[in-house]
Structure 1
Amino acid sequence: MQAAAERSDAILDAVLREIRPELRWTHGPTTVGSCDVSRRRVVMTEISAERRGSLLGVVDRFWRESGYRMTVVNNDAEFPAIYARTSDGFGVRLRIGGEGQAFFQVDTPCVRESEVADSTSRATAPLYEGAEFIPRPNIHSDFWSAKGG
């Protein structure tokens, strides 16, 4: 499980490095199932309705170029989402929630049980103790938060 969690962090780190201008994010909760792990990143940058399509486009293109197979594309105007699968069976997703908050998640395939340490990836926004009560996005970006064409 630890190795799978580290692979999940690498997947999340790679996609977030690809997005320019940079999004500010914090760790969401890590959950451990009977044989799988889910890692989450919560974007704290405000993403305007006008910029959501741009964000999903960048992520979709990067995942396709990385050899991921797109499994679901939800083009909902308010709450769009994309889901994909890596060649080694990791499920990845980006979904837009309330107030344009973006959520990245990686779900591992079934792996051998072990302890799972917290992610060592350095968040670019403040951390929230326990990651249970993360506020709505509260960091302005001249690009990502822009309204209008």
Structure 2
Amino acid sequence: MNMQQAAERADAMLDATFEAIVPRVHWAHDTTTTHTCDVIRRRTVTTVVSEQRRGSFLGVVQRHWEKSGYKIKSVRQDQEMPAIYAVSPEGFQIRILFGYKGQAFFQVATPCVTKSPVTDPTTPANGPAYPLGRIPAPNIRSAFWSAPAPLP
């Protein structure tokens, strides 16, 4: 596997994760980082996920990852900035974390593979496309994910 193929696998992992989140959230591609032999793909959620719904959001993601055969490496159960870190059977590291203003950030880091050029992701963003480095804080409201009450 070369870096381009690994980046495409990372994109497929992120695509499947976002497909598992229902109702859908809006997201934008974030930066891609390449190193000597690995690639990091990132996506940033622009839908507001209320503090009361973050646990449910994380639960949806965690259940999808477990069903996909990923091993959960750690869970940060922080009220404001929770996170889940997992690894796929092929050694791809995947994570979700909540940061500033409750914004959800997804990242996949590939294992070391054969060096090659890497193109930009081809999956269209689900929501407005922003220039890299200019993704705003969550600004799209969802009747479900942005609701101020926890799920029963």
TM-score per shorter chain, which class?
over 0.9
CA contact 2:26–2:127 (8 Å) conserved in 1: yes
Provide the alpha-carbon RMSD of the alignment.
Answer: 0.7
- Report the Cα distance in structure 2 between the residues aligned to 1:48 and 1:63, rounded to whole angstroms: 22
Structure 1 residue 133, shift from structure 2 partner: 2.1
Structure 1 residue 148, shift from structure 2 partner: 2.3
| 1:1-149 matched pairs, under 5 angstroms | 1-129=3-131, 131-149=132-150
Structure 1 residue 146, shift from structure 2 partner: 0.5
Instruction: Tell me the amino acid that sits aligned with residue 38 of structure 2.
Output: D
Structure 2: gaps of 5 or more residues: none
Deviations 1:60-97 (CA, angstroms, capped at 9, x unpaired): 11111111011110000100000000000000000011
Instruction: Tell me the amino acid that sits aligned with residue 141 of structure 2.
Output: H
Q: Secondary structure of 1:89's partner?
A: coil
- Report the Cα distance in structure 2 between the residues aligned to 1:35 and 1:134, rounded to whole angstroms: 27
Structure 1 residue 127, shift from structure 2 partner: 1.5
- Report the Cα distance in structure 1 between the residues aligned to 2:9 and 2:72, rounded to whole angstroms: 19
Q: Secondary structure of 1:113's partner?
A: coil
- Report the Cα distance in structure 2 between the residues aligned to 1:148 and 1:12, rounded to whole angstroms: 27
TM-score (norm 1): 0.97
TM-score (norm 2): 0.95
Q: Secondary structure of 1:63's partner?
A: helix
Q: Secondary structure of 1:50's partner?
A: coil
Instruction: Tell me the amino acid that sits aligned with residue 68 of structure 2.
Output: S
Runs of 4+ aligned structure 1 residues displaced above 4 Å come to none
Instruction: Tell me the amino acid that sits aligned with residue 148 of structure 2.
Output: K
Deviations 1:14-50 (CA, angstroms, capped at 9, x unpaired): 0000000001000000000111000011000001000
CA contact 2:53–2:149 (8 Å) conserved in 1: no
Q: Secondary structure of 2:127's partner?
A: coil
- Report the Cα distance in structure 1 between the residues aligned to 2:130 and 2:117, rounded to whole angstroms: 22
